[in-house]
Amino acid sequence: MKNSFKKVLKLVPLSLFLLTMDQVVNSQIQHEYLANDITTLDSFINVKNIRSNVVLTSFGLDAITAIKTQEGIVVIDAGIATGITQRIRHVIEYEFHSNGFKYLINTHYHPDHYGGNSVFDEAEIVGHKNGLYEIADQWEDTAKAINRLTKIVSEYELALQASELTKAEWIESITQKTRYSSALVDAQSGYKILEPAITFEDSLQIELGELKFEMIYFGKCHSNSDILIYIPELKILFTGDLVFKYGRPSIVYPQSDEKEKWIRAIDWIEKRIPEIETVITGHGVILTTEDIKSFNQKIMEIGLN
């Protein structure tokens, strides 16, 4: 006991010293628990009711929001893999007592947002037109993608075998390992990604029942296909992976030749800011309009330089 506690002290950063011992779990015990309880993975699916007709589900870094309208359900993003997203689909059906999926909108075309698209294959998939070539590029060399996923899975497996982990560390490692393992299964099975059937260049509005889904292309920034989605009747903005906490922008393409589009999109956001009540990021973090104001300011500084 004493030795194991010492080991924990070595591994746990100083800031975590205040944790009580019951928050430090033994990963071996957790492994056994997992092996004996097939429903454990479902227990990692978080469900947040944002409105009576909006549910935000997440599994680790996968975040899928479903919005129920009078004429069917709209889904925003689809997670990294079909296995997990299939479980999340059941959760949404249970929450809404409905399986009428009409549209799936991808915030951008990174695999952790479209990998599970085919789970909603009856829905029309909507996204920016650049997504088509982004998907083609990412899966051009399937063997390379499989090698990459295999490496990531084994790294998380090693992390899980570490003698002691905090509960938060264990949950992060097990959900990440599960996400990438599921994506690996999809890739190895030669599974075909479901691409967007409805694409647009600058902006698009879709109406379903009593709700409108206003979309605008941001310009190449975090990906080549970032869009913003706003539902005015619900006052909810979806920002994909463009914005992180405190309004920190995620700029993968700092040399973007589409900065004039960034400025146009910021203007679009500014017009809506007085109305916005909820901001949902691509990984399920809820931000405030203060974060968005800060993001707008930072993007303008970068865009104008």
Indicate the length of the chain as a whole number.
Answer: 305
In terms of Cα–Cα distance, which of 1, 16, 48, 9 is closest to 168?
A: 16
Name residue, tokens 């075909």.
192
For residue 9, the tally of other CB atoms under 10 A from its CB is 12
Q: Is 110 a residue that touches Zn ion (CB under 5 A)?
A: yes
The one segment of 2-10, 56-64, 102-110, 167-175 that binds Zn ion by CB under 5 A: 102-110
From candidates 77, 134, 241, 291, binder to Zn ion by CB under 5 A: 241
CA of 276: how far to CAs of 208, 246, 285, in Å?
20, 17, 16
Q: Is 77 a residue that touches Zn ion (CB under 5 A)?
A: no
Q: Which is nearer to Zn ion, 16 or 152 (CB)?
A: 152
Maximum CA pair distance of the chain? 63
Distance CA 303, CA 305 (A): 6
Q: Is 128 a residue that touches Zn ion (CB under 5 A)?
A: no
Q: Which is nearer to Zn ion, 171 or 251 (CB)?
A: 251
The one segment of 13-21, 59-67, 107-115, 171-179 that binds Zn ion by CB under 5 A: 107-115
Q: Which is nearer to Zn ion, 241 or 291 (CB)?
A: 241
Q: Which is nearer to Zn ion, 165 or 299 (CB)?
A: 299
Q: Which is nearer to Zn ion, 169 or 196 (CB)?
A: 196
CB neighbours of 296 closer than 8 A, spacing ≥ 6? 247, 266, 269, 270
Residues in the interface with Zn ion (CB under 5 A) total: 2
Site string for Zn ion, 15-44 (x = CB under 5 A): ------------------------------
In terms of Cα–Cα distance, which of 106, 94, 117 is closest to 191?
A: 117
For the bound state, the minimum distance from the C-beta of residue 223 to Zn ion, rounded and expressed in Å, comes to 6
Chain positions contacting Zn ion, by CB under 5 A: 110, 241
